[in-house]
Amino acid sequence: MDDRTKLSVIYYSATGTTYAMAQAAVEAAEKAGAEVRLRKVRELAPEEAIRSNSGWHAHRLETQDVMEVELDDLSWSDAVIFGTPTRYGVMAAQLKQFIDSSGPLWARGVLADKVFSAFCSTATAHGGQESTLTSLFNVVYHWGGIVVTPGYVEPSQFVGGNPYGASHTSNNGEIPPDEAALTATALTARRAVEIATALKRGLAVA
């Protein structure tokens, strides 16, 4: 029987910034020994809006084979990492719509005692990175989940400077995630796996 920690990386990305960070999270989690699912949330924007932006349209084609998330991905997981661009200082509507569909799992207590973490991106500096992450964690508190952040546990975090979760400023999608952002994303994933694994082992012998 495979007793590896199960982790889902669930993200929304329009032009590819948060997708790149999601890939970094997957790679780091797998290196930490987790069984990982990468899942995108369903796009809600109309076709005409997507086609009006060449980067948005290209990215949708690039990731057309990435599986869309289902509620089973939440119940399957020991840990979940959410990734989202910022929209007015909060998570993207696409991710929020999926989270809002989780009521049946919440009502049964399925989401309690799982580890949750997150990363995000903004178009501009001071564009709401911290508020996006902390508001997303409000959902986890309602679920009874356990929030795990990168904190300042490694020297690299003093470069990125965001203890709430990995984040990146993309200049409206023109600047891909840099080394600081990807390092912080990897740290976020490793910590989520490590704490979820410890929790899983502890509960197994309790």
pLDDT tens, N- to C-terminus, the chain (206 residues)? 468 999 999 999 988 999 999 999 999 999 999 999 999 999 888 888 888 887 888 888 888 899 999 999 999 999 999 999 999 999 999 999 999 999 999 999 999 999 999 999 999 998 999 999 999 999 999 999 999 999 999 999 998 889 999 999 988 878 899 999 999 999 999 999 999 999 999 888 87
Whether 27 contacts 10, CB under 8 Å: no
* Burial state string for 66-81 with b = 16 or more CB within 10 A and e = fewer than 16: eeebeeebbeebbbbb
Domain contains 1: no
Q: 10 Å Cβ neighbour count for 140? A: 21
User: Is 33 inside a domain boundary?
Assistant: yes
DSSP designation for 162: -
User: Are 26 and 67 a contacting pair, CB within 8 Å?
Assistant: no
Q: Which two three-digit tokens encode residue 48?
A: 């005409």
Contact 110, 75 (CB under 8 A): yes
Predicted pLDDT of residue 163: 96
Residue 48's domain comprises 6-205
Handedness of CA 135, 128, 91, 155 (dihedral sign): negative
User: Structural domain tally of the chain?
Assistant: 1
Q: How far apart are CA 83 and CA 170, in angstroms?
A: 14
Within-domain flag for 164: yes
Two tokens, residue 136: 């997303």
- Cβ atoms within 10 Å, residue 141: 11
Q: Is residue 26 part of a domain?
A: yes
Q: 58: domain CATH number? A: 3.40.50.360
pLDDT of residue 2: 64
Inside any domain, residue 117? yes
In DSSP terms, 83 is beta-bridged to 11, 119
